[in-house]
Structure 1
Amino acid sequence: MLTNEQLIQIRRDLHQIPELALEEKQTQKYLLQVIHQFRQDYLEIKTVSELPTAILVRVKGSNPTKTIGYRADIDGLPVTEKTGLPFSSKHDGQMHACGHDIHMTVALGVLNYFSEHQPKDNLLFFFQPAEESKNGGKLAYEQGVFTGQWRPDEFFALHVTPDLPTGTIGCRNGTLFAGAAEVNIDLYGQDGHAAYPQRANDMVVAAAALIEQVQTVISRSIDPIAGGVITIGKIQAGTIRNAIAGHARLEGTIRGLTQTMIERIEQRLREVTTGIGQSFQAKVKLEINQGGYWPVENDPEITAQLITYLKNDSAVNYQETEPAMTGEDFGYLLAKIPGSMFWLGVQDDSQLHSATFSPQEEAIKVGIDAIVGFFKQHM
C-alpha cells in the first residue's frame, strides 16, 4: 500500500509537470509508471487512440453485478505559479492551479487499495484529459471510450475547494456545479466620422443597448429563486476617439444550475440580440458554445447513499454545500451516466485558478479513505 509520504511525493511530482488540455503526455507517462508498480492481478490498463493522453484502468471484481466508475482530471491551467514552493511548476506559464494534482493522487490511492484488495464489483478509473478546456469528458463519451466492459454503470468524482476546512467533505443532492457556456456577439454596422453620425451606424451605441438588454434576461426572464448568470466580460470596438465604430465584439459567459435553465437563457439571448439587430439596423452574429460543460446534477438515489455514508463515517467531517456557479465538464458525463460529485476541503487563502493556490496535502488521505470506504459499502 502507498504510504502517506509516498502519496504526498506523488502529488508533488505531478504538481511540477502541469500540462494544458490534450497535451498531458508527461503526466500520462508518470501516471502509467505509478500504476504499473501496483499489483496487476486484477488490473487491466487501456489507452485509446481517440483520446491519446487518457488512461482507463479496470479493476476486475470478484463477483460483479455492476461497474463503478471514478474519474480524475489530469490537465493544468495556463497560469504562472507564484507559490514559491520548492516543488513549483517546472513548466513556464502552466500550473496545477485547480487542484488536479490532488485529484490524480487521490485516484491513484484508491486504485492502489483495490489493486491489493479485490473489490466485489468491477471498478473503472478514468484519468481524463482536458477538463479545463476542450471538454475531455464529452470527447471521451462521444468517441466511444465507454463501451462494453469499459462502460461504468455509475460515475463518481471529487473536486478540491479552498473554502472548506482541510479534509472536510461537502456534497449535496441536485446541482453541485452550474453549467457554463461561452458567448460571442459581433455587431456590424457602418463606420464613419464622429462629426457625421447620420452617415454611419454606430456599433458602440448598439453594444451599449445590447448590454443593458442582456441584464434583463436574468432579472426578468429567470426565476429569481432558481438563479442564473450572464456576464459580458469583454468588449472591443473602435480604434480612435473621433471615429464611429462600425463593428463591436462582446464576449461573455452564461451560467445556469440546470440544463433547462441554460437553454432558456440562450433562447432569450438569441431573442434579445435579434431585437437589437432590428432596432439598430445592424447585422448581429451570435455564437454560443457550451460543449461538455453541463451542470453537475447529482443523481438523487446514488447521492443520498453517498451522503448517508459520509454522515455516518466518524472519520469524515461532512458538510452540505450550496450550488457553485463554477463550471465542470463532469456534468456532461453525469447527464449520460448516473453518479455523484463532491467537494474535498483543502483550506487555503487563495482561490482555485489563482497563481498562489496551495492546497493542504493532509486532505489526500481523507479523500482516499472516504472513497474506499464508500465503494466497499456500495458494492
Structure 2
Amino acid sequence: MTLSEDELIQIRRNFHQIPELALHETETHKYLLEVIKTFKQDYLKLKKISELPTALLVKVTGSDPQRTIGYRADMDALPVTENNGLAYASKHQGIMHACGHDLHMTVALGILNYYSENQPKDNLVFFFQPAEESESGGRQAYDLGVFSGEYQVDEFYGLHDNADLPSGVIGCRNGTLFAGTTEVNVTVHGTSGHAAYPHEANDAVVIAANFITQVQTIISRNIDPTKCGVITFGKLEAGTIRNVIAGTARIEGTIRGLTQDMIEFIRQRIVEVAKGLELSFNDKIDLEFNQGGYYPVENNPELTTRFINYMKQSDAKYQDMAPAMTGEDFGYLLNKIPGTMFWLGVDSPGSLHSADFLPNEKAIEDGIAAFTGFLNYRMNSEEN
C-alpha cells in the first residue's frame, strides 16, 4: 500500500523533530529503518555500512534489469536554532533541518515505497547519506567502495529543495548546477615587536592585508569575466594589543567555482601569490586547502538531456535554471558516476540555511510523482 499525502507529511514532520549533525544521525537512521520496514519487502534488500554507521543502502531488485539506477537522499541537519513556532519544531536545541534534508528523505521514501509495491524493471539503489553539510559523506561512502558489487550504480540522481521556486516545480540544467567549494586556511608567520620599532619586527597584519588584497585580483584580473569564480575570506585573526606588532595572522576563507579546473586554477594562483609575498616580506606563509567531496555538481550531458526532455513533455512543472554558487557533496559522486541533480521548488518564506526556512509540504507528492514518472520512462525506454 502506497503512502498517502498525510502519511508523507507526518513522516517529514517526524524527521523535522529529530535533526542531527553530520555523522551523528543515529535517531534519523533508526526512524528510516522503522518506516522502511513497514513497506512490502518482496523486492527490498537493506545494507548497513559499519564504517559509516548512520548511512543506509536499500536495493530494489528489478524484474528484468538492464542497469542499476541510484538515488541519493541526504540526512544531516545544521547548527541553526529554529524560529518558526511550529508544533513539530526541532526537539534538539540549536539544531534544525534548515536545508530541507527532512523533505529530501521523505521524497526518497515515497519513491522507494512506490517501487516496493510496483517492482521496477531495472535495479534501484537508494542511498540515505549522512554528512552532506560537512565531513563529505558522499565521498566517504564512495571511497569505502560502497557502490561496488551488488550495489554498483550505473547512473545516480538526487534532488535539492529550492526555497525560491514555486512549490512542486522541477528545475535543472545541463552542465554545472552547483559550484564546487574548497576551504582555504592561511597562516602568516612574521615577527612580533614593539609598535614604536616596526623596523625590528615583521608585521603579520601588513602581510595579511597585502595577501587578501592581491588574492582578490585573481578574480578581477586572472579569470575570464564570462566565467565564474569566487574567493571570500570571512575570518581574520591577528595580534593581542594595539601597541604590539603581530607576529602571526590567521585568515580563513573559501574558493568556489563552476568547474574543477576553475577551482584548481584559483588554488594555484593563491599559492603563487603567497610565494611572492614570502619573497617581498621575508616571511613564511602556510596554506591549507580542503575540498573534501565538495566538487562542482556537473550534470552528465546525455542523462540530463533525457531528464529535462522528459520533464518538459510530462505533467511536471519544469523550469530551466542558472548555475548556483552553493556547494553540494553530490558533486563528488557525479565526478565518479554519471548522473543528474535537480531542484525541487518548495516556496519557503525563509531561505535555505535560515532559522525560518519552512518548505511547502505540498511539494513532497509533486517531487515523488515527477521522479517516479521519469524512472518509469527511463526504465522502459529503448535507449541505453
Partner of 2:247: 246
Which segments of 5 or more consecutive residues in structure 1 lack a partner in the other structure? none
Partner of 1:201: 202
Task: For residues 115-135 of structure 1, give each alpha carbon's deviation from its aligned partner in whole angstroms, at most 9, with x where no partner exists.
Answer: 000000000000000000000
Distance 1:98 1:348 in 2: 11
Task: For residues 13-54 of structure 1, give each alpha carbon's deviation from its aligned partner in whole angstroms, at most 9, with x where no partner exists.
Answer: 000000011100000000000001000000001101021110
Distance 1:214 1:160 in 2: 33
Partner of 1:145: 146
Task: For residues 323-349 of structure 1, give each alpha carbon's deviation from its aligned partner in whole angstroms, at most 9, with x where no partner exists.
Answer: 000000000000000000000001122
Partner of 1:36: 37
Partner of 1:9: 10
Partner of 2:176: 175
Partner of 2:376: 376
Partner of 2:357: 357
Partner of 1:233: 234
2:71 is the alignment partner of 1:61:
no
Letter in 2 for 1:286: L
Q: TM-score with structure 2 length normalisation?
A: 0.98
Partner of 2:167: 166
Distance 1:174 1:287 in 2: 29
Q: Cα distance, 1:226 vs. partner? A: 1.3
Question: Per the alignment, in what secondary structure is the counterpart of residue 377 of structure 1?
Answer: helix
Distance 1:216 1:358 in 2: 39
Distance 2:224 2:164 in 1: 27
Distance 1:238 1:86 in 2: 47
Distance 2:100 2:279 in 1: 46
Letter in 2 for 1:23: H
Task: For residues 295-331 of structure 1, give each alpha carbon's deviation from its aligned partner in whole angstroms, at most 9, with x where no partner exists.
Answer: 00000000000001110112x2111010000000000
Which consecutive segments of 4 or more residues in structure 1 shift more than 2 A? none
Partner of 1:117: 118
2:127 is the alignment partner of 1:126:
yes
Partner of 2:382: none
Letter in 1 for 2:61: K
Which segments of 5 or more consecutive residues in structure 2 lack a partner in the other structure? 380-384
Task: For residues 125-175 of structure 1, give each alpha carbon's deviation from its aligned partner in whole angstroms, at most 9, with x where no partner exists.
Answer: 000000000000000000111111101100000000111011111000000
Q: Which moved more, 1:171-180 or 1:83-92?
A: 83-92
Give % identity: 65
Distance 2:225 2:270 in 1: 17
Q: TM-score with structure 1 length normalisation?
A: 0.99
Distance 2:53 2:278 in 1: 44
Distance 2:84 2:182 in 1: 30
Distance 1:166 1:246 in 2: 53
Distance 2:314 2:85 in 1: 36
Question: Considering only aligned residues, what root-mean-square deviation do their CA atoms show, in Å?
Answer: 0.6
2:263 is the alignment partner of 1:262:
yes
